[in-house]
Every structure is written in structure tokens, then in C-alpha cells.
Structure 1
Amino acid sequence: MYAIELPSDAAATIPVERRGHGRILFEAVGLGERTIRGRIEESGFARARFPLSGRRRRALEAVLINTGGGLTGGDTSQTIIRAAETAQLVVTTQAAEKIYRSDGAVTGIMVDLMAQAGTVLEWMPQATIVFDGARVQRSIQAEVAGDARLLLVEPVILGRTARGERFSHGELVDSWRIRRAGKLIFADGMVLEGDISAILDRRACAGGWAAFATLLLVAPDAESRLDAVREALGLPDDLPDHLDAGVSAWDGMLCVRLLARDGAPLETAIRRAITALGIAEVPRIWHC
């Protein structure tokens, strides 16, 4: 989950026919005491693997792989995931997703999740690293049944912090829309463009820090976990150095906002929050 030093550019302008387009659709189905794979479709650079070492409880763990090694301007990534018939599914990624500098075109990332009645769906990818000059538009939408549980964990690191890079120009647009039983219950959006360095330096925005994450739990008992998560993060008065956080709960949801100097304190805080929830574990591939 760290912003490591990698080359940020490919060539100057990439021909349209060489843009990458990945799409994956898969379904997990509950079968007695197990969760098994259902329908799977893969195209472009998008792949999913289901390591036996990732199994815990009765959950099935899916690891998403980008065989192209990252995304750049004009590339698109679409992920469609369905948890059906009492399935318990954990979805993560093989590595941090890197969004490279764009030649002008926008990178599109679309995530579509569905947790049907009686299911558990945990969406916990490793960090998205946005390189300076990247232009990315991401949308996350989810449909959750009234008695289902959905956990979303999305970390973002702005720039390759290991080499002192900042995300000073480019574009980052992020949109979340979560529906429960067909009703919109959570809508969130962010737009970073223009003089991004000046925006991020504002104390009311990021105070110059480069890493942030949102953790959202949608579940009938989500509000009961508020105090445990706050205590695990050190709220209100014992936050660790290089970390700021806020936690709130309402209407069957719990939301954690994290802001950190870089990826290291951010990952530590995410691990603490997940553990404090008492319903999920950090995906094993995060330890690699």
C-alpha cells in the first residue's frame, strides 16, 4: 500500500488502438457452508483468481489482477461483482493500482457491486496510486439488500511519495452511490483539478498530506460498532502522529474517513479500523 518509485510515463501519446480496456464480471454463490464461484467473464487485462490460501470462515476470497501493470490516459477498467444466495465474498487486488501520467485522455474506472439478501460482500482493494499528471474518473456504485452486509475500503495515495512526488496537476473525479433495497442511502463525490497543490495544502482540505481512505460499512448492526472503531483509531484525543480521522454512524451505516501523511500510517489505521469492526479481516495478500 506504499507509493513506490516507478516510471510514470510510457511514450508521449499512445494511439487509440493501443489503449487498454479491462472488464471482469463474476458471481459468488452460497452453497451450504461454502461459497463457490458462479459465472465469470474476463476481457482485456482484467483477471480474477481465487487462492485457496485466501479462504477463511466460509468466505471466498477473490484477487483481481491487472495484467497490464497499471492504467494510463484512455484506459478503462470495469468491475462487476455479484454476491448471491447467502454468499460471503472478499474482493481485493494483487497490488496497488497505479494510474500513470496522461497524455490528455481520461482513465475511467467503474465498479458495480451487488449484495443480495443474506450475503456478505467485502470490497477491499489495495491502494490506488495517482501519479502526477494523471487524469482519472472513478465511479463506485452498489446495491445492497436490507439484510445484507457491504464493507467498502478504498485507500488513495496522491503521487509517488517515496520519491517526493506530489499530485500537483491532473484530474481526479470520484463518485460513490450506494443503494439499499433500491433507495439511495449514501452519495459521495470529489473533484480535484486546477491548482491541485494549492487545494491540497489548505488545512481544511488535506494540509499537504498525500494519502486518504474511506471505509464504509452498510449493515443492520453497523451503528453498534462506532465506539470500538473510534477507540481503535485513538479518537478523539489520541490519534497517532501523521494521521487524522473521523468516524460517524447513522441509519445502518458506519463511515470512517482517514487522512495521512503517506501510505504507511494510512495502512496502519485501516488495519486497526477493520480489526475493530470485528466482522472482517485484512486480506492475506496485503501481507505480501
Structure 2
Amino acid sequence: MYATELPSDASPRSTIPVELRAKGRLFVEALAAGGRTVRGAVEEAGPSRVRFPLSGRRGAALEGVLLNTGGGFAGGDSSHVSAHARDGAHLVLTTQAAEKIYRSDGALTRLNVELKVGKGACLDWMPQATILFDRARVERSITAEVAGSGRLLMIEPLVLGRTASGETLRAGSLFDGWRVRRDGRLIYADGLDLSGDISAALGRRAVARNWAGLATILLIAPEAESRLERVRAALGIGEEMADGLPEGLEAGASAWNGMLSVRLLARDGAGIERAIRRIIPELGVTEAPRIWHS
């Protein structure tokens, strides 16, 4: 995979040939065995890898760390990650580092995530942030199938631009579509579509007020609704909260029909990370993945 710096009006000759595009595929299976979770089938292709560090073996859960050996995604690259927590298993998946989506020469970067949670199983999908460089063009699809007695936690942080370098996302495109089914029935659908004059759209106060960090957190679990007030308290949401939300952070949380949803908007990626760390204990995560500390 090559991340090239190409002009926005690049001619066809300057684009990367199709045969050089990175195409990653990964399948991870977790199985319950004697009160703990062990790895089942693992299939890797292209730059996509998964590792199960000894430091991640805590309690009954199995922690896997996803790696992209290409170091990021350029326009035209693709990735498909499929994870299945079988009945009674507990699988935690995160990434080695923040994922970078580089400026595109015109082609889309396509990312697909497919999650399945069996009966009495738990799957915590907790990647580190995805960073979109200016003029990145991304299409991402996240689908999930959850058994009625299963538990799925999805945490997806996005950073729009390289904030540490003073870069903002001014042009490009992003489409992010989520579909979650429980016992075969669609219970959650969400979509984010940014295109055209992205800078103007993000500058609107009702959209993002020019802040670069955002995250969607979704918990599907039998006890999800009972966690709402604790999540709100951890964030400082509500008139009864003396301190309120930290400066540089806006947040909202709601719960219904066995689901809990949290939206975060922050001035930068660091603000999003701090907010996520504040609320994950209230979402049933006793400790953040070890790789987050490195």
C-alpha cells in the first residue's frame, strides 16, 4: 500500500493502478471453553492481521488486537473485518493504533465491519480512532447480528483532520452506515453523509461547530437501559450535575428497547478519548484494552 500525495485534479495517469490497491480481509472467531474464551478460526489476507497478546488475557474474555501492516489506507484500498463471538464467549477487539485514511486521488477507501454475537455471548468492538486526512474519501459499512441474550458494545471514534498538525477536513467525502439486528430483526439504523463543502457543513453550530472529534457508542444488552443514568452522570449530563460537561465536549445519551446510545463531539481527538475513558466503566468494561496505554 502506498500513500501518495497527489493533486486534487490528478490525471488518470497519476492514479495508483488497481492491482496495487491494498485489499485486507480478516475473520476472527471466539469460542467458550471451560469458563473462558479461546480463539477459534482465524483467517487473514492482505495487510489485515490480528494478534492475541498475553497482556490481554484477563478474566474470561479474549482480547484481540487488529493490525494493518500497510500503516493506513489510501484511496482505492479496502478492508473487510468479520468477528464472531460464539455462544457464551466474550471477545474484545481493538486496534494497535489509530487508523489513518490518507488523501485520495479520487478513488474511495472502502471499509466493512461485520459482527456476530451468539447466545449469552459478549463482543466489545473498541477500535482506536479513525483519522481522516483532508480530501480522504471513505465509505464504511458496519453491520451486526446479536442474539437476544447476547451483548454487543460498539465504540467508534472519528477524528476529522490531523488536528495535531492544524489540519481540518475541508474536502473529500465520508459515508458511514450502521445496521444492527437482534434475533434477525432490524433494531438500529444510522447513517452519516459528509460531502461537497465539508468545511462549511462542519462549521455550523448545529453540526460540529468546527470541532474535529466525534464518536458513536452503542450498547445492545438486556441491561443496557439500566446503565443510562450512570453514563450521563459520568459525562456530567443533566441539570443536577454541578460541574456539567468538560470544556470542549458536547455529549448526549439515550436508551430504549434494550439499547443505549451515546454521541460525543469534542474539539479534538484527545477530548473524545478522555470522554470514552470516563464512561466505559459504566458500560460494563472493567478495564480499557492494554494497547490503549502504549
Do Structure 1 and Structure 2 share a fold, with TM-score over 0.5? Answer: yes
Mapped to 1, the partners of 2:87 and 2:217 lie a distance apart of 25
Q: Paired residue for 1:218, among 217, 220, 239?
A: 220
Report Cα offsets for 1:105-145 as digits up to 9, x if no partner.
00000000000101000000000000001000000000000
**Secondary structure of the structure 1 residue equivalent to 2:142:** strand
Structure 2 counterpart of 1:156: 158
**8 Å Cα contact 2:114/2:144 also seen in 1:** yes
1:250 aligns with 2:256: yes
Report Cα offsets for 1:17-43 as digits up to 9, x if no partner.
110000000100000111011111100
Q: Which runs of 5+ in 2 are unaligned?
A: 7-13
Structure 2 counterpart of 1:64: 66
**Secondary structure of the structure 1 residue equivalent to 2:234:** helix
**8 Å Cα contact 1:8/1:131 also seen in 2:** no
Question: Structure 1 residues 270 and 217, CA, compared in 2 at 3 Å: closer, same or farther?
Answer: same
Structure 2 counterpart of 1:267, which letter? E
Q: Paired residue for 2:28, among 26, 29, 36?
A: 26
Report Cα offsets for 1:140-195 as digits up to 9, x if no partner.
00000000000000000000001110100000000000000000000000100000
Q: Paired residue for 1:180, among 179, 182, 194?
A: 182
Structure 2 counterpart of 1:3: none
Q: What's the C-alpha RMSD, in Å, of the aligned pairs?
A: 1.2
- TM-score normalized with structure 1 length: 0.96
How do residues 217-236 of structure 1 correspond to structure 2 at under 5 angstroms?
A: 217-236=219-238
Residue 278 of structure 1: how far off its partner (Å): 3.3
Report Cα offsets for 1:48-103 as digits up to 9, x if no partner.
00001012121000000000000010000000000003110000000101000000
Structure 1 counterpart of 2:205, which letter? R
Residue 10 of structure 1: how far off its partner (Å): 4.4
Structure 2 counterpart of 1:60, which letter? L
Mapped to 1, the partners of 2:163 and 2:138 lie a distance apart of 19
Residue 210 of structure 1: how far off its partner (Å): 0.5
Question: Structure 1 residues 280 and 141, CA, compared in 2 at 3 Å: closer, same or farther?
Answer: farther
Residue 9 of structure 1: how far off its partner (Å): 3.7
Structure 2 counterpart of 1:108, which letter? R
Structure 1 counterpart of 2:44, which letter? E
Q: Which runs of 5+ in 1 are unaligned?
A: 1-6
Q: Paired residue for 1:264, among 270, 279, 287?
A: 270
Structure 1 counterpart of 2:247: 241
Q: How many residues align?
A: 282
Structure 2 counterpart of 1:264, which letter? A
**8 Å Cα contact 1:30/1:36 also seen in 2:** yes
Q: Paired residue for 2:204, among 187, 202, 205?
A: 202
**Secondary structure of the structure 1 residue equivalent to 2:39:** strand
Structure 1 counterpart of 2:289: 283
Mapped to 2, the partners of 1:133 and 1:8 lie a distance apart of 13
Mapped to 1, the partners of 2:3 and 2:73 lie a distance apart of 11
**Secondary structure of the structure 2 residue equivalent to 1:68:** coil
Residue 280 of structure 1: how far off its partner (Å): 4.3
Q: Between the two structures, name the one with larger relative contact order (CA 8 Å, sep ≥ 6).
A: 1
- TM-score normalized with structure 2 length: 0.94
Mapped to 2, the partners of 1:43 and 1:222 lie a distance apart of 35
Question: Structure 1 residues 93 and 43, CA, compared in 2 at 3 Å: closer, same or farther?
Answer: same
**Secondary structure of the structure 2 residue equivalent to 1:212:** strand
**8 Å Cα contact 2:3/2:74 also seen in 1:** no
**Secondary structure of the structure 2 residue equivalent to 1:208:** coil
Instruction: Give runs of ≥4 in structure 1 deviating > 3 Å.
Output: 7-12
**Secondary structure of the structure 2 residue equivalent to 1:216:** strand
